[in-house]
Amino acid sequence: MLLLFETPGGFAIFKVLDEGKLSSVEDLGNVFSSPESARKMVKLKAFDKFDNTSDALEAVAKLVEGTPSKGLRKFLKANCKGETLAVADSKLGNIIKEKLTIDCVHNNAVMELLRGVRSQLSELITGLGEQDLAPMSLELSHSLARYKLKFSSDKVDTMIIQAIGLLDDLDKELNTYAMRVREWYGWHFPELAKIISDNILYAKSVKLMGNRINAAKLDFSEILADEVEAELKEASVISMGTEVSDLDLIHIRELCDQVLSLAEYRAQLYDYLKSRMNTIAPNLTALVGELVGARLISHGGSLLNLAKQPGSTVQILGAEKALFRALKTKHNTPKYGLIFHASVVGQAGRKNKPRIARSLAAKAALSIRCDALGDAGDNSMGVENRLKLEARLRSLEGKDLGRLAGSAKGKPKIEVYNKDKKMGSGGLIAPAETYNTAADSLLVQTTVSAENGVKEKKDKKKKKKAEAEEEEEAKAEESSKKKKKKKAKTEVEPEVVEPAKKEKKKKKRKHEEEETEEPAKKKEERKEGEEEEEE
C-alpha cells in the first residue's frame, strides 16, 4: 500500500512496509515515536518537488478544493500502478479513483499513519529538513492567502496618493521653471511676457525663435493666434531688451525644453491618475470627480481609512485649521473643505452651496464605503447618487426662483414688508452686481494688482481658492449693500480695506477663514470701521 503525503515542498509517496500494523490503530502511534521504527514502517518511494512558488500555489489551491492538479496526476500515474493509495482527503481519493483508476483508502488508520509520518518527516525524507520546510511553508501560505483574498495589485490605493502628491509637486516645479524662463528671457525681450500670458505658449515661442531678431522671419501660426503673432513681431522690432549671446540662448532653450517635457508628463500623469481612480474608486469618481476624489483619499491616508469617516467629516476634510479654530472660539465651523472643488458644489448658487456640500458629503461617504469594502467594481451607485444630487440641486434652485416669481394663480405672493431688503432683484437669486464705485479708490487697485500677480504664481489648487475667495469678497460686498443704504458707502470701505489686509496673508488660510467669515459677518452689527479682526 502506498501513502500520499503533501508537504510545502512537494508531494511524497511512501510505501507502507508493514501493513499488518495498520489493523491496530492505537499501536500505530507508538510505532512512529522513534525514527528507526518509523523507517521500518514506511519508506519514501518517490518525491515530486514543486518547481516554483506558482507551481506550488496551483497544486495546493487545487488540493484545497479536493481535486488533483496535473502535476499530481502525472506523479501518481508514474508511481502508483497497481497499488492502493492512502490519502488524507476522501474527496480527493474519489476523484483520483475516477480519473486515474487508482484505488484509494481513507480511514482512521490512514490518519494515524499520516500523523506519524508528519511527526518524523525530517527523518523519513532525507534532504528536506525542518529549516528547508519552514520558509517554503511560509511562502506557500502567503501566496495561498493572497490567492484566497483575491489580492489584486490594481486595487492598491497607495498609487493614488503618490500620484496626486507628484501632480502637486509637478505643478509647483512647472510654475517655478516657467517663471524662470520668463525672467531670464525677459532680459532679452521683456515685451513678450506681457504679450503671451500662457506659460507653455511662452516656452514654445521662445524655443522657436531664440533671438528676437528671428521673430520677424518665423511663422508662429501653430503656437499663437494671429493677432498675438502680429503683436509679437511688432514688439520684437522695437524691443528694449539687451542682446544675449548664442550660448545663453542655448541654455534658455534647454530650460524651455524642460518646461515643455514637464508639461507633457504632467498631462500623462493626470491621465494615469484618472484611470487609476476609475479602477480603485469608481463610485467616488462618478460623484465628485477624479481630482477631488484623489485628494480626499490622499488626505485620509488610505481608502479604507477614509471609509471609516462619517459624512460630516468628509464634508470638512481639508479645512481642519478653520474647524478647530472655530470649535475653540465657539464660532461657526467651516461649511466645506476639499469637497468645495467638486463640480456639483461649484454649480450651486451661493445659498445652496453649503446644502449641496452636506448632501454631497453624505453620498460621497456612502460611495467611499462601497468602493473600499464592497465587491462590485462598477460605478452604478456613484452615477445614481450623482443624478439624485443634481435633481436635488435643481429643486433647491427652483424653490428660490419660485418664491420670487409668484404663484401660478397670477397674484404675486404677499410678503412681509422688510424695509431693509433691496427691492427689484426680481427673478434673480442673487442681486445683480452693479459697478462698485468704491473700487475706484487707489487702495483697491493695489489689492487687485497684487491679487493678479499673486494669482499667477500659484498653482491650480490655490487658484481655485483665490476664486472662491473672490466670490466671498464679492458676496461680502453685496451683503453690505443689502443693509442700510446710508451706511453702504462707509461700510464698503472698511470691507475693502479688509481684503487688502487679507491679501497679505497666506491664501490658504484665508480660504478657510472665509468660510467662517461670511456667516459671522452677517450676524454681527455693522459698526463703522470696526469689523471683526479675522486673526
Partner 1 sequence: MRSPLRGRGRGEGSAMRGGGRGPRGRGPGGRVPGGRGPRSEPGGMKGGNKVIVTPHRHEGVFTGKGKDEVILTKNLVPGESVYNEKRISVQNEDGTKVEYRVWNPFCSKLAAAIFGGLDDIWIKPGAKVLYLGAASGTSVSHVSDIVGPEGCVYAVEFSPRSGRDLVNMAKKRRNVVPIIEDARHPAKYRMLVSMVDVIFADVAQPYQANCIDGTMPAETVFSNEVKKLQADELKPAEQITLEPYERDHACVVGGYRVPRKQKTATAS
Tell me the window of 56-64, 252-260, 392-400, 417-425 that interacts with partner 1 (CB under 8 A): 56-64
Tell me the window of 94-102, 118-126, 364-372, 422-430 that interacts with partner 1 (CB under 8 A): 118-126
Alpha helices in 125-223 (DSSP H): 130-148, 158-186, 191-195, 199-209
Question: Does residue 130 interact with partner 1 by CB under 8 A?
Answer: yes
CA 197, 203, 208, 214 torsion-angle sign: positive
Question: Can you read off the three cell numbers belonging to residue 129?
Answer: 529538513
Q: Write down the least CB distance from residue 373 to partner 1, Å.
A: 8
The binder of partner 1 chosen from 29, 301, 398, 412 (CB under 8 A): 29
The binder of partner 1 chosen from 77, 99, 146, 399 (CB under 8 A): 146
Question: Can you read off the three cell numbers belonging to residue 210?
Answer: 531664440
Question: Does residue 405 interact with partner 1 by CB under 8 A?
Answer: no
The binder of partner 1 chosen from 23, 82, 126, 149 (CB under 8 A): 149
Tell me the window of 133-141, 220-228, 336-344, 358-366 that interacts with partner 1 (CB under 8 A): 133-141
Furthest CA-CA distance within the chain: 114
Question: Does residue 70 interact with partner 1 by CB under 8 A?
Answer: no
Question: Does residue 46 interact with partner 1 by CB under 8 A?
Answer: no
Find out whether 160 and 276 touch, Cβ atoms under 8 Å: yes
Tell me the window of 136-144, 189-197, 400-408, 458-466 that interacts with partner 1 (CB under 8 A): 136-144
Interface map 76-105 toward partner 1 (x if CB under 8 A): ------------xx----------------
d(CA 464, CA 455): 10
d(CA 444, CA 396): 35
Q: Write down the least CB distance from residue 5 to partner 1, Å.
A: 9
Count of alpha carbons within 13 angstroms of residue 438, beta-carbon side: 17
Question: Does residue 376 interact with partner 1 by CB under 8 A?
Answer: no
What does the buried/exposed string (b/e) look like for 31-66 if buried means 16 or more CB atoms within 10 Å of the residue's CB?
Answer: bbeeeeebeebbebeebbebeeeeebbbbbebbeee
Question: Does residue 171 interact with partner 1 by CB under 8 A?
Answer: no
Q: How many CB atoms lie within 10 A of CB 268?
A: 10
Q: Write down the least CB distance from residue 109 to partner 1, Å.
A: 16
Using the minimum distance from each CB to partner 1, give the nearer residue, 140 or 277: 140
For residue 421, the SS3 value is: coil
CA-nearest of 114, 89, 121 to 104 is 89
Question: Does residue 166 interact with partner 1 by CB under 8 A?
Answer: no
CA 323, 169, 347, 391 torsion-angle sign: negative
Using the minimum distance from each CB to partner 1, give the nearer residue, 50 or 185: 50
Question: Does residue 406 interact with partner 1 by CB under 8 A?
Answer: no
CA 438, 442, 443, 445 torsion-angle sign: positive
Question: Does residue 268 interact with partner 1 by CB under 8 A?
Answer: no
Using the minimum distance from each CB to partner 1, give the nearer residue, 259 or 303: 303
Total residues at interface with partner 1 (CB under 8 A): 27
Question: Does residue 148 interact with partner 1 by CB under 8 A?
Answer: yes
The region, left, alpha or beta by phi > 0 then psi within -120 to 50, assigned to residue 424 is left
Residues that bind partner 1 (CB under 8 A): 6-8, 29, 33, 60, 63-64, 88-89, 114, 118-119, 121, 130, 133-134, 137-138, 140-142, 144-146, 148-149
